[in-house]
Amino acid sequence: MPEISQSAALSFREAIDRHSLHEHFADLPQQREAAKLGMWVFLATEVMFFGGMILGYIAYRNAYPAAFQAGSVHMLFVAGTLNTALLITASLFVALAVHAAREGRRKALVWCLAISMFLGVCFLGVKGYEYYQHYLDHKVPTRTFQWDGPDPRHAEMFFVLYFFLTGFHALHMIIGVSILAFIIYFAQRGRYTPEYHNPVENAALYWHFVDIVWIFLYPMLYLVGHTHV
């Protein structure tokens, strides 16, 4: 950081403090650390939240492997793979956005966030298309569920888990996209500085977490049916 005069530094600090520092924190680094830790603790909660559903998946797949493989055959493999790529790329741009925020490059920040948000919306679009195809295919586990292979009950269980897991994931995506929209709005107005950009960092952590969930969902749901006999 270049040397700046004492008085300039002070007024700069005050300006930031007025906007960004809550009065019960001693200084900005303390506030930033607190916000970051809070986010990680929240993500631990989220891990357990998805963990409960993943436990359900493991327990039932262990009990009914054939039905799960047969169910997975009906997944749209291309769409799932495309979505994985979309999310990973979105994660990259969010990481680049944090990078830009740390360096105080407002334009790069806004653009990177906008690209990730766009990729996130694309993801949701593809997901919606998949849901629609499953609906047409009578694979939504309600009364209209149809299954002509053996063991329909447990094949339906696969679809129940599919819709639970991807549904909750999509919900997180929707929240993530909305958060990014807010961040973009504030970033454009120059709210974030190299000293204060906790919301960008935390939104990025959340976004990466949602990405990680998908990284596990993808092989669990899309890839188990290819070698089905």
Partner 1 sequence: MAEKTVRISTYIWIWAVLMCLTALTAGISFVNLHRWSTVVAFVIATTKAGLVVTFFMHLWYEKEKTIWIWAVVSALWLTIMLVFTMGDYLTRGFLQVPGK
Partner 2 sequence: MATSPQLETVESADYLNAEYGVKSWLLTTDHKRIAILYLASITFMFFIGALFALVIRLELLVPDGTLVQADTYNKMFTMHGLVMIFFFLIPSIPTVLGNFLIPLMIGAKDVAFPKLNLMSWYIFIVGAGMFIYTILTGGLDTGWTFYTPLSTSFVSSSVVIGALSIFVVGFSSILTSLNFIVTVHKLRAPGMTWGRLPLFVWASYATSVIIVLGTPLIAISMALVALERIFGIGFFDPLLGGDPLLFQHLFWFYSHPAVYVMILPGMGIISEIITCFSRKGVFGYWSMALAILAIAVFGFLVWAHHMFVAGISVYSALVFSFLSYFVAVPSAIKVFNWTATMYRGSLYLTTPMLYALAFIGLFTIGGMTGLFLASLGFDVHVTDSYFVVAHFHYIMVGGMVTAFLGGMHFYWPKISGRMYPESWGQVAAAVIFIGFNLTFFPQFILGYLGMNRRYWHYAPQFQVLNVLSTAGASILGIGYLLPLGYFAWSLRYGRRVGDNPWTAAGLEWKTPSPPPTHNFPETPVVTWEAYNYAELPKDIEILREETFAGD
Partner 3 sequence: MFPLWPISASTMARQVDGLYIFLIVVTGTVTLFICAVMLIFIFRYRHSKHPVAEQVTGSLPLELTWIVVPLGVFMIFFIWGANIYVAEATPPKDSLQIYVVAKQWMWKTQHENGEREINTLHVPVDRDVRLTMISQDVIHSFWVPEFRIKADVLPGRYTTLWFRANRTGTFHLFCSEFCGTQHSGMIGKVVVLDGAKYQEWLTNGGEMGSFAATGQKLFQELGCANCHRFDTQGRGPNLVGVYGKPVLLSRGTSVIADDAYIRQHILNPGFQVVAGFKPIMPSFQGIVTEDQMLSLVAYIKSLATPQQREPVSNRPPVPKSAGAPEVQ
CA distance linking residue 32 with residue 25, whole number of Å: 10
Cβ contacts of 150 within 8 Å, gap of 6 or more: 66, 67, 70
DSSP 59-85: HHHHH-HHHHHHHHTTS-HHHHHHHHH
CA distances to 43, 65, 71, 94, 217 from 50, rounded to whole Å, are 10, 21, 21, 22, 10
Q: Does 154 bind partner 1 (CB under 8 A)?
A: no
CB of 224 to partner 1, least distance (A): 8
- Applying CB under 8 A, does 59 fall inside the site for partner 2? yes
Rounded Cα distance between 165 and 54, Å, is: 8
Three-state secondary structure call for residue 99:
helix
- Compute the distance between CA of residue 41 and CA of residue 35 in angstroms, rounded to an integer: 10
Select 85 or 171, whichever has its Cβ closest to partner 2: 171
Q: Which of 38, 125, 149, 194 binds partner 3 (CB under 8 A)?
A: 149
Asked if 128 contacts 108 with a C-beta cutoff of 8 angstroms, the reply is no
- Using rule CB under 8 A, residue 33 touches partner 2: yes
Q: Does 169 bind partner 1 (CB under 8 A)?
A: no
| Interaction of residue 153 with partner 2, rule CB under 8 A | yes
Total residues in contact with partner 2, by rule CB under 8 A = 34
Residue 227, phi then psi, degrees to nearest 5: -105, 20
Who's near 84: CB < 8 A, 6+ residues apart? 214, 215, 218
Which of 174, 165, 153 has the alpha carbon at shortest distance from 220? 165
Any contact of residue 26 with partner 1 (CB under 8 A)? Answer: no
Residue 208 interacts with partner 3 (CB under 8 A): yes or no: no
- The least CB distance from residue 145 to partner 1, in Å, is 25
Site residues (CB under 8 A) for partner 3?
64-67, 149-154, 229
Site residues (CB under 8 A) for partner 1?
1, 29, 32-33, 36-37, 40-41, 43-44, 47-48, 51-52, 54-55, 58-59, 62-63, 77, 81, 84-85, 88-89, 91-92, 94-96, 98-99, 102-103, 194-195, 204-205, 208-209, 211-212, 215-216, 218-220, 222-224, 226-227
Site residues (CB under 8 A) for partner 2?
22-26, 30, 33-34, 37-38, 41-42, 44-46, 48-49, 51-53, 55-56, 59-60, 63, 141-143, 153-154, 156-157, 160, 164
